[in-house]
């Protein structure tokens, strides 16, 4: 058997097919764990420092000690990329509640690092149709493993013909299950919700973009406002900027990617793909 993929668990390497964890782990028993996920392009981690910042923030917020220092994680990440010949793909750090004697109280956390080859879309990609869902994620600012609602609603999403969901609550639009949401006002101001969301690394880059004539502001807005937007797009690690062309069947703007969406996408693609702006080298 040719082993094509290695995973790292608590300091030991495993062929990915043999990578396992004891069933008393609190992630499995109680959905208690955090993770982070980032891209490898040309063999190099993209925005790694931001992802590690968030990983350590998430672990502190859930009271989970990663058990490894930041520089050790950087070394493991470079090692797993090399060992898996990962030129382009994703690396996931997953930190769990650990083995629990009573099935409820966290133990010593388990840390897993996995690599998956995957090609990332260059360019803007097709415009997305979103289906709105009234739901507020619990502990939204922590990158927990809680995707129960999102996975549960996949059959309903498929039936609707939409590409992804857009969560909203009484306070307004929040986020997609795995992406941040942005709208562009009639005045050309880019808004992204300020509260009740996971603060994505790509979202942060867009907030910092400072492109001439394209103000980007954190500000909550309603689903009705989003549906009346001049443009809309989402951001995530796997697809830096993707246009949103409809929400619940209501066409956004002229139904194709708007000018501001295109400019932000180009800027971000350059940042991600040129290598000039790698933060970790």
Q: Which chain residues interact with a second copy by CB under 8 A?
A: 7, 9, 17, 19-33, 62-63, 92, 94, 96-97, 103-106, 112, 114, 116, 135, 138-139, 144-152, 154-155, 178
Closest CB 42 distance from a second copy, rounded Å: 23
Of 184, 188, 164, 166, whose CA–CA distance to 175 is shortest?
166
Closest CB 118 distance from a second copy, rounded Å: 9
User: Closer CB to a second copy, residue 61 or residue 269?
Assistant: 61
User: Is beta strand 190-192 parallel, antiparallel or unpaired with respect to 216-218?
Assistant: parallel
Closest CB 167 distance from a second copy, rounded Å: 11
Q: In angstroms, how far is the first alpha carbon of the chain from the final one?
A: 34
User: Closer CB to a second copy, residue 22 or residue 213?
Assistant: 22
Helix (H, G, I), strand (E, B) or coil at 270: helix
User: Closer CB to a second copy, residue 151 or residue 210?
Assistant: 151
User: Closer CB to a second copy, residue 25 or residue 50?
Assistant: 25
* Angle, vertex CA 119, rays to CA 232 and CA 279, nearest 5: 75
Of 213, 247, 249, whose CA–CA distance to 232 is shortest?
247
User: Closer CB to a second copy, residue 107 or residue 188?
Assistant: 107
Contact 217, 253 (CB under 8 A): no
Closest CB 168 distance from a second copy, rounded Å: 15
Rounded to a whole number of angstroms, the CA Rg of the chain reads 19
Closest CB 235 distance from a second copy, rounded Å: 18
110 secondary structure, DSSP code: P
């Amino acid at each position: 058997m040719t082993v094509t993929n290695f995973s790292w668990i608590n300091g030991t390497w495993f062929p990915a097919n043999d990578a396992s964890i004891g069933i008393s782990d609190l992630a499995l028993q109680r959905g208690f764990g955090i993770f982070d996920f980032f891209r490898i392009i040309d063999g190099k981690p993209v925005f790694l420092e931001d992802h590690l910042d968030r990983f350590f923030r998430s672990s502190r917020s859930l009271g989970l000690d990663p058990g490894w220092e930041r520089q050790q994680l950087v070394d493991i990440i470079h090692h797993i990329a090399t060992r898996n010949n990962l030129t382009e793909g994703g690396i996931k750090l997953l930190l769990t509640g650990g083995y629990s004697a009573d099935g409820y109280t966290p133990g010593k956390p388990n840390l897993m690092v996995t690599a998956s080859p995957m090609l990332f879309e260059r360019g803007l990609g097709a415009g997305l149709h979103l289906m709105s869902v009234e739901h507020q994620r619990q502990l939204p600012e922590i990158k927990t493993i809680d995707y129960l609602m999102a996975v549960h609603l996949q059959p309903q999403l498929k039936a609707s013909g939409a590409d992804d969901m857009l969560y909203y609550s009484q306070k307004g639009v929040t986020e997609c299950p795995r992406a941040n949401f942005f709208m562009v006002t009639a005045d050309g101001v880019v808004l992204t919700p300020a509260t009740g969301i996971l603060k994505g690394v790509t979202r942060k880059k867009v907030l910092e973009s400072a492109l001439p004539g394209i103000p980007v502001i954190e500000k909550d807005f309603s689903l009705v406002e989003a549906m009346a937007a001049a443009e809309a797009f989402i951001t995530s690690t796997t697809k830096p900027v993707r246009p949103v062309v409809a929400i619940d069947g209501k066409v956004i703007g002229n139904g194709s990617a708007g000018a501001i969406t295109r400019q932000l996408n180009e800027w971000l693609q350059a940042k991600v793909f040129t290598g000039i702006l790698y933060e970790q080298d």
